Chains A and B, each alone.
Chain A
Amino acid sequence: MLMKKRFNPIKDKSGEIIDFLMASPDIPDDETLRFKLRLSIEEAVENVVRYAYDGGIGWLEAGTSLDHDSLILTIELRDAGVPFNPLERKDPDITLSIEDREVGGLGIFLCKKMMDTIDYRYEDGNNVLTMTKKC
């Protein structure tokens, strides 16, 4: 990890964490890419800030790295909250009519669509979410 920072506590800190990651020198200047990366980062960070800890009292470590040969950007989020694999959540049914669509449940789905890969592992008592994108 070239850029890494631990935020603690994380309650109401989503904006700060997103801004930290988007300011990383690993994140490219390209506007189209930045849009997709910001969206994925926001959804993934929100997921931790809202649900990982009871009352948002806990830490989140956020980092980026860029492989300069393959130009693959990696974004990693780590927390010590409730073990939770967001990838196990069922994708929303995007074909439902407006009456049946539910408000919410789109965050991780958007990450999956915007990033090239997204992986989850539980390691040393931590949730670790890793997202990659070719830049």
Chain B
Amino acid sequence: MKPRIQPILVLRALAVLAGGASVVGCFSNRQNEGAKLYASHCSNCHGAAGEGLQRLIPPLAGADYLVKNRSGLACLVRKGMQGPLIVNGVDYNQVMPAADTHLTDSQITNILNFVQTSWGNKGEIFTIREVSEQLRGCGASDGQ
């Protein structure tokens, strides 16, 4: 038995593919880089919905830390951190490792913007320029 493909369906699918790119959430495109990078680099600890883990791993969803420490976020993603910190009034004290593979300035920008705009977060968007400036401040910009 040969599988039969109906030409009308193929045509319809093609038309849809062409039109679909404009529909947010229907098809993936490069706009989702931040989400993909978050899934591969951050979500094991911070959770798929930015929920964190009890009092071990701080949440990113609704975290006041993102607002209060905006100027340090790019370096935090690139270099990780150690020692106690307080998020939404709860103290945490785990090691956050540096990214396990190199992330470019633009990839860090996309991660930060994914976090800033996900799970109800409505943080101010980062530009690559701002992220590169922050990273230069901790000697870690790669200018890309």
Q: Do A and B belong to a common assembly?
A: no
Residues of B within 8 A of A (CB): none
Residues of A within 8 A of B (CB): none
